[in-house]
Amino acid sequence: MTTTPTTRDDCAERDAADPLARFRDEFALPDGIVYLDGNSLGALPRATPGRVADVVEREWGRHLVASWNDAGWWDKPRTLGAALAPLVGAGADEVVVGDGTSANLFKTLVAALRLNPGRRVVVGEEGNFPTDLYITQGVVELFEGASTRLVGEDDAGLAAALEPGDVAVVLLSQVDYRTGALRDMAAATELAHAHGALVVWDLCHSVGALPIALSEAGADFAVGCTYKYLNAGPGAPAFTYVARRHHATARQPLTGWHGHAEPFGFTGEYVPAPGASRFLSGSQPLVAAAALEASLDIWARVDMAGVRAKSLAMTDLFLELTAGTGLEPVTPAEHARRGSQVSLRHPDGYPIVRALAERGVIGDFRAPDVLRFGFTPLYLRYVDVYDAAAALVDVLKTGEWREPRFDVRAQVT
Ligand SMILES: *Cc1c(COP(=O)(O)O)cnc(C)c1O
């Protein structure tokens, strides 16, 4: 079989036949932009400003404090958790929304260490997102005799790290933020459990990007943010998954009143709530939660198998169209090992990403040398993938990225 290069017309045909195409209209995307950074900050759903305004003007402005009961404010961490649960393959009572990913990493890692007394090693990933490494370091400093052991991307390294039998908990990202490599959640969880360790999964780059099966995999804990593929807006509250079998025994350290069994008993002693609610701490940003609610309304209508199929088709297409440019793909070619992004390596990645942005193609750069392009099937078309690849090819061919103004580093890259 010979393969002919994909044309822009081929892409337009694929868009016409795409069952997810109708979702694009639900997002407010600026004209003239191909947005390949939805893995960093998702796009704005059109329904979000209205929902946020309603919470501000009606629920807060008019109904004031009554909204804690009448608008369901008090239960938002649970109702939003239940709405999010199908996206991660969890029971409605196993997910709560609140705080940020970094804080939730702290809570779940401490809880896991306490569930596994006698073991004091935390296994992490050397290439993980910095906050995962930093929080791990902070947690380890709190437990006498605790230490960190870092592993690479492969399960063989993980097996070796677990071998001594001293590991309390393993913290793994399902999709690596830099390379886009996808881990086999079920296999890694089974491996950890076989060695007596618990697992905390970081789902920041997988939730909303691919189907996730936490319960089926037997995961213990998971955390994730909602402002990336889930499109809930900058600083939107994160989520925590607590497997039902740990509900009665897990103890997290930020024992605030929202995690209390009887928050309005106003007693002097902390008694953890039954269930995942014990992972809550204090009052939540309910205006931001309204934006998450609006985005979850979209996700409730989305078929995740379809998202996965389109995501792989788009990343395949982008890899095909950028082959031979001298950029080295770091994202695995194998579908089973690929998340929803394409990462390409080039020593001058930063100015290339800036030159592309000037042409309206928004990707990002992750030090030291990775150009990162996220593919979000709900609002991207195949023609966008085509145009982005064509722009990248042209930026490299013309060498326009060499203009000095592209090498001025912004605060956020
Ligand atoms: C984006 C991301 C985070 C973000 O943490 P915040 O507390 O929301 O800033 C954490 N971990 C990973 C793996 C991420 O990709």
397 is catalytic: no
Who lines ligand 1 at CB under 6 A?
Answer: 100-102, 129, 131-132, 173, 177, 202, 204-205, 225, 238
Mean pLDDT of 22-49: 97
Q: What is the mean pLDDT of the chain?
A: 96
For ligand 1, atom 13, name the residue with the nearest CA: 129
Q: Is the pLDDT of residue 275 over 70?
A: yes
Q: How far is the CA of 38 from the centre of ligand 1 (A)?
A: 14
Q: Is the pLDDT of residue 3 over 80?
A: no
**Residues in the chain, total:** 413
Q: Is the pLDDT of residue 319 over 90?
A: yes
How high is the pLDDT of residue 155? 85
Q: Is the pLDDT of residue 363 over 70?
A: yes
Selecting among 23, 27, 221, 227, the annotated active-site residue is: 227
Question: Is 75 marked as binding a ligand?
Answer: no
Residues sharing a CB contact under 8 Å with residue 398, sequence separation 6 or more, in sequence order:
none
129 is catalytic: yes
Mean pLDDT of 20-44: 97
How high is the pLDDT of residue 211? 98
pLDDT band for position 280 (cuts 50, 70, 90): very high
How high is the pLDDT of residue 95? 98
Domain boundaries, the chain: 8-31+303-407, 50-299
Q: Is the pLDDT of residue 1 over 70?
A: no
8-31+303-407 has CATH 3.90.1150.10 classification: yes
Say how far apart CA 300 and CA 308 lie, in whole Å. 16
Q: Is the pLDDT of residue 220 over 90?
A: yes
How high is the pLDDT of residue 2? 54
How high is the pLDDT of residue 242? 98
Say how far apart CA 51 and CA 29 lie, in whole Å. 18
Mean pLDDT of 171-197: 97
pLDDT tens digits along 246-262 = 999 999 999 999 999 99
Question: Is 266 marked as binding a ligand?
Answer: no
How high is the pLDDT of residue 4? 82
How high is the pLDDT of residue 413? 78
Q: Under CATH, what is the fold of the domain 50-299? A: Aspartate Aminotransferase; domain 2 (3.40.640)
How high is the pLDDT of residue 5? 85
pTM higher than 0.95, yes or no?
yes
